[in-house]
């Protein structure tokens, strides 16, 4: 696409970035075919190609209007168009630049400003959100339906493991998940505990910044990213003795943004390196758990697939036999480009899992979209629920709390995070006994306590890991040890950055040791 950007815009970093993106677009319009808002509204300007034109015009000097803003607001940022585009156009980044520019020139009415500011502040602050939730429960009868249906009854998680393990990962509670779906992280912690991995929460970490980014508050999103980096850095910096090897994301929306921290802060002298390392150490649960498929299959083994009926002594047979439909969130399949992993893992564990038609299309949740564009969001939800229900599932599973909440309000079929299903299956197995659980709602391990505790076991863990590694893997680790004094950190880095070979060897050794000890 030819461009003639204003000189004043061309002189900025954002202008240059936008121009480079615009030039990759060849106007083919293939992206329109998979755009939910184009399918719904049939207007070129409500599809990706039209929005790209609108942004181009603004960058070239045309004054945007409220209509321009509406077309950009209607975009779900689902990034389905990025998946479809044969030219690799980075539409999402272009939209961020375009929205910011249009916001500056068009502005918002006072009522819109108040709503957007309230959402930003209430949703991105866990404490404020908990209070808002309490008030919302009290007055839910007075709220419009699209708001009242989003307020669930009080929910508590059913136990967080208390056993310390040599291997550790960080989870992120984020902003709304502890209030709306605390069971997701607790279930993750229990599954990891059964794999001899300890799940931790850094006390100062909070909202990833996605809520603010959705609402065009880029500086607020950067502030949130920096706060999280500060919270995680003591556990993840190269010289740390914490043993934390990854940040495992249970909400694909948060994961997509945290993986982008490196990009978001690449020009920040103080944070660029830290942000990059943190992005590299971040993975979705569906990237982390398949590394332990063998262990999980061994635990479930005789109970899965065709063997269910032969071993139907426990409820597990009933659970695995459930017809399950997988709803992949956009932030997982388009944002993080992770496709097929959850279904594959669940199938290998014997679960009858399927996809619905048009599974690439957004359910309409999309951050604050379901509140700010409620009509469109409800239509998209209606279509998605109809497609999901057509598969006649007994359970719908997903990987993002917001999608789950959004869908659950329109169907009587239970909608859960897939880790809750796996946790339930493992909980029913006599061979997968959980360690001691706590129902403490704030099972956070203070960073300093954790570092002290971990420093004392690091030497033992290193000998365990080193002893069990294959010669090739040992060579790889020795090479890395020579580059840095922290050998444990090197192993951690290679787990995440260089593939699963070290990961699995080390894990098997630790598992064997644990079994011998017990």
Calculate the CA dihedral of residues 332, 335, 337, 338 and round it to 10 degrees: -10
Angle between helices 501-517 and 487-497 (to 10 degrees): 120
**Residue linked to tokens 């980075």:** 90
List of residues contacting ligand SF4 (CB under 6 A): 25-31, 35-37, 48-49, 51, 75-81, 85, 87, 89, 91
Three-state DSSP class for 51?
helix
Query: 48 or 329: whose CB is closer to ligand SF4?
Result: 48
Query: 30 or 164: whose CB is closer to ligand SF4?
Result: 30
Quote the least distance from Cβ 74 to ligand SF4, whole Å.
7
| 120/18 Cα distance (integer angstroms) | 26
Of 101, 99, 106, nearest to 76 (Cα)? 99
| 447/202 Cα distance (integer angstroms) | 6
Cβ 155 vs Cβ 232: under 8 Å? no
List all residues 6 or more positions away from 7 whose beta carbon is below 8 Å from its beta carbon. none
Quote the least distance from Cβ 99 to ligand SF4, whole Å.
11
Query: 80 or 359: whose CB is closer to ligand SF4?
Result: 80
Quote the least distance from Cβ 12 to ligand SF4, whole Å.
23
| 503/148 Cα distance (integer angstroms) | 45
Quote the least distance from Cβ 368 to ligand SF4, whole Å.
14
Query: 78 or 447: whose CB is closer to ligand SF4?
Result: 78
The angle subtended at Cα 81 by Cα 56 and Cα 332, nearest 5°, is 130
Query: 51 or 492: whose CB is closer to ligand SF4?
Result: 51
Quote the least distance from Cβ 153 to ligand SF4, whole Å.
32
Instruction: Please list the residues that pair with 168 across neighbouring strands.
Output: 198, 244
Tokens of 515: 């079994």
Query: 49 or 417: whose CB is closer to ligand SF4?
Result: 49
Query: 171 or 257: whose CB is closer to ligand SF4?
Result: 257
Q: Where are the beta strands (DSSP E) in 172-296?
A: 197-201, 244-249, 282-284
Quote the least distance from Cβ 425 to ligand SF4, whole Å.
34
Cβ 129 vs Cβ 176: under 8 Å? yes
- Which is it for strands 160-161 and 167-171: parallel, antiparallel or unpaired? unpaired
Quote the least distance from Cβ 285 to ligand SF4, whole Å.
24
The angle subtended at Cα 28 by Cα 26 and Cα 33, nearest 5°, is 140
- Residue 396 CA to its chain's centroid (Å): 18
Query: 78 or 277: whose CB is closer to ligand SF4?
Result: 78
Query: 31 or 425: whose CB is closer to ligand SF4?
Result: 31
Quote the least distance from Cβ 250 to ligand SF4, whole Å.
23
Quote the least distance from Cβ 137 to ligand SF4, whole Å.
32
Instruction: Please list the residues that pair with 244 across neighbouring strands.
Output: 168
């Amino acid at each position: 696409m030819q461009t003639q950007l204003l000189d004043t815009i061309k002189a900025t970093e954002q202008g240059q970035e936008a121009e480079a993106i615009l030039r990759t677009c060849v106007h083919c319009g293939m992206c329109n075919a998979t755009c939910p808002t184009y399918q719904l509204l049939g207007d070129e300007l409500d599809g990706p190609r039209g929005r790209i034109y609108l942004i181009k015009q603004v960058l070239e000097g045309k004054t945007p209007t409220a209509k321009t803003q509406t077309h950009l607001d209607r975009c779900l940022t689902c990034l389905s168009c990025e998946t479809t585009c044969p030219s690799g156009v980075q539409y999402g980044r272009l939209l961020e630049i375009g929205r910011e520019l249009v916001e500056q020139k068009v502005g918002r009415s006072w009522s819109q400003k108040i709503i957007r500011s309230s959402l930003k502040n209430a949703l991105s602050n866990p404490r404020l959100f908990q209070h808002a939730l309490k008030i919302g429960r009290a007055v839910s009868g007075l709220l419009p339906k699209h708001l009242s249906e989003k307020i669930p009854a009080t929910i508590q998680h059913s136990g967080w493991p208390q056993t310390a393990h040599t291997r550790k990962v960080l989870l992120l509670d984020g902003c709304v998940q502890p209030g709306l779906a605390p069971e997701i992280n607790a279930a993750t912690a229990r599954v990891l505990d059964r794999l001899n991995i300890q799940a931790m929460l850094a006390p100062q970490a909070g909202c990833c910044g996605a809520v603010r980014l959705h609402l065009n508050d880029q500086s607020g999103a950067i502030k949130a990213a920096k706060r999280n980096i500060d919270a995680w850095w003591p556990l993840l910096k190269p010289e740390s003795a914490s043993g934390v090897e990854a940040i495992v994301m249970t909400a694909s929306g948060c994961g997509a943004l945290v993986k982008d921290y490196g990009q978001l802060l690449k020009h920040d002298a103080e944070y660029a390196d830290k942000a990059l390392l943190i992005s590299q150490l971040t993975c979705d649960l569906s990237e982390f758990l398949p590394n332990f498929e063998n262990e999980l299959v061994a635990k479930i083994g005789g109970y899965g697939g065709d063997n269910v009926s032969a071993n139907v002594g426990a409820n597990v047979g009933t659970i695995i036999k459930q017809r399950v439909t997988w709803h992949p969130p956009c932030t997982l399949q388009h944002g993080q480009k992770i496709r097929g992993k959850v279904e594959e893992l669940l199938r290998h564990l014997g679960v009858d899992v399927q996809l619905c038609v048009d599974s690439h299309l957004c359910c309409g949740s999309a951050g604050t979209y379901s509140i700010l564009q409620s009509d469109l969001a409800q239509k998209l939800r209606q279509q998605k629920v109809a497609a999901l229900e057509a598969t006649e599932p007994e359970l719908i599973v997903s990987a993002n709390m917001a999608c789950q909440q959004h869908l659950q309000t329109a169907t009587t079929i239970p909608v859960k995070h897939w880790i809750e299903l796996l946790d339930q299956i493992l909980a029913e197995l006599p061979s997968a006994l959980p360690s001691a659980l706590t129902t403490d709602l704030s099972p956070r391990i203070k960073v300093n306590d954790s570092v002290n505790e971990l420093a004392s076991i690091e030497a033992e863990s290193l000998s365990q890991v080193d002893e069990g590694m294959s010669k090739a893997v040992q060579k790889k680790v020795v090479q890395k040890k020579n580059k840095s004094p922290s050998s444990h950190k090197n192993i951690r880095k290679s787990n995440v950055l260089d593939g699963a070979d070290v990961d699995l060897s080390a894990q098997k050794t630790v598992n064997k040791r644990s079994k011998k000890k017990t």
